[in-house]
Amino acid sequence: MARTLEFDYDTTLERATRLFWKSGYAGTSLRDLLKEMGIGESSFYNTMKSKKRAYLECLKHYNETVARKRAKVFLEAPTAALGVRALFNNMLESLDNPDTPAVICMMAGSLTHEVLDEAELREYIEGRMTTLRDTMIARMNADKRDGLLTAGFEPQFVVPIVSTYMQGLWRMALVSYERSSFERQIDVFLTGLGL
Amino acid sequence: MARTLEFDYDTTLERATRLFWKSGYAGTSLRDLLKEMGIGESSFYNTMKSKKRAYLECLKHYNETVARKRAKVFLEAPTAALGVRALFNNMLESLDNPDTPAVICMMAGSLTHEVLDEAELREYIEGRMTTLRDTMIARMNADKRDGLLTAGFEPQFVVPIVSTYMQGLWRMALVSYERSSFERQIDVFLTGLGL
DNA sequence: CCCATTATGTATCGAGTGCTACAGATCGTC
DNA sequence: GACGATCTGTAGCACTCGATACATAATGGG
B34 touches strand C (CB under 7 A): no
pLDDT-based confidence at residue A195 (cuts at 50, 70, 90):
very high
Residue B36 lies in a domain: no
pLDDT-based confidence at residue A3 (cuts at 50, 70, 90):
confident
Q: Which domain holds residue A150?
A: 58-193
B38 touches strand C (CB under 7 A): no
List, in order, residues 6 or more apart from A132 with CB less than 8 Å away: A67, A71, A163
A11 touches strand C (CB under 7 A): no
pLDDT tens figures, A99-141: 999 999 999 999 999 999 999 999 999 999 999 999 999 999 9
Share of chain A above pLDDT 70, in %: 100
pLDDT tens figures, B152-193: 999 999 999 999 999 999 999 999 999 999 999 999 999 999
Nearest to B27 among A114, A172, A185 (CB): A114
Residue A14 lies in a domain: no
Q: What CATH number did the domain enclosing A101 receive?
A: 1.10.357
Residue A26 lies in a domain: no
pLDDT tens figures, A44-71: 999 999 999 999 999 999 999 999 999 9
Query: Which candidate, B163, B42, B164, B137, places its Cα nearest to that of A165?
Result: B164
Give whole-number Cα distances, A177 to A96, B27, B123, in Å: 9, 26, 15
pLDDT at site B1: 75
d(CA B188, CA B182): 10
Chain B: closest CA distance from residue A67 (Å): 18
Residue B70 lies in a domain: yes
Residue A66 lies in a domain: yes
Which residue of chain A is at minimal alpha-carbon distance from B185? A157
List, in order, residues 6 or more apart from B56 with CB less than 8 Å away: B120, B121, B124
Residue B55 lies in a domain: no
Residue B106 lies in a domain: yes
Write down the H helix ranges in B38-178. Answer: 41-48, 51-62, 68-75, 80-96, 106-109, 113-116, 119-145, 155-175
Classified as helix, coil or strand, A138 is: helix
Share of chain A above pLDDT 90, in %: 98
Residue A47 lies in a domain: no
**What interhelical angle do A68-75 and A119-145 show, nearest 10?**
10
Total structural domains within chain B: 1
